[in-house]
């Protein structure tokens, strides 16, 4: 996978990590743990109607997406964060599948990114 094929920016990741590949690898490892936890939390809270908690999980994931330079994931996290804060369940339900798919696309790229960082 070449740099331009990643759903996130390796340059942004390294910049956010002060150029440290070790820190970059740690961020990528944490992202692998964070995505399932945050998406599960979103799903559970969507089912119970607790959109404020959906918003909070979206906000957390948005931060990591920003560190990774995952612009599409960042945009979707922001949309779900805002919709959750505004209690717009239809919008949350519309955005969530896109967010989950994009998060998975990023997760799928992590092993190649870790290999690239060395």
11-69: pLDDT as tens digits: 999 999 999 999 999 999 999 999 999 999 999 999 999 999 999 999 999 999 999 99
Q: What's the confidence (pLDDT) of residue 4?
A: 58
57-100: pLDDT as tens digits: 999 999 999 999 999 999 999 999 999 999 999 999 999 999 99
Q: Is pLDDT at 3 greater than 80 in this prediction?
A: no
Question: Is 32 among the domain residues?
Answer: yes
Question: Is 118 among the domain residues?
Answer: no
Query: Token pair of 28, please?
Result: 């990528």
Question: Is 65 among the domain residues?
Answer: yes
Q: DSSP string of 2-20?
A: -GGGSSS-HHHHHHHTTT-
Question: Is 80 among the domain residues?
Answer: yes
Domain count, the chain: 1
| CATH number of the CATH domain containing 91 | 1.20.120.160
Q: Is pLDDT at 1 greater than 80 in this prediction?
A: no
Q: What's the confidence (pLDDT) of residue 118?
A: 84
Residue range of the domain that includes 97:
3-113
Report yes or no: 66 and 74 within 8 Å, Cβ to Cβ.
yes
């Amino acid at each position: 996978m070449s740099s331009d094929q990643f759903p996130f920016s390796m340059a942004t990741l390294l910049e956010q990590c002060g150029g440290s590949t070790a820190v970059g690898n740690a961020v990528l490892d944490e992202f692998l743990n964070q995505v399932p936890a945050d998406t599960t939390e979103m799903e559970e809270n969507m089912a119970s109607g607790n959109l404020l908690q959906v918003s909070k999980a979206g906000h957390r994931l948005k931060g990591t997406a920003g560190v990774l330079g995952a612009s599409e994931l960042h945009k979707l996290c922001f949309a779900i964060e805002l919709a959750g804060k505004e209690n717009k369940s239809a919008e949350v339900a519309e955005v969530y599948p896109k967010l989950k798919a994009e998060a998975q696309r990023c997760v799928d790229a992590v092993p190649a990114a870790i290999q690239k960082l060395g």
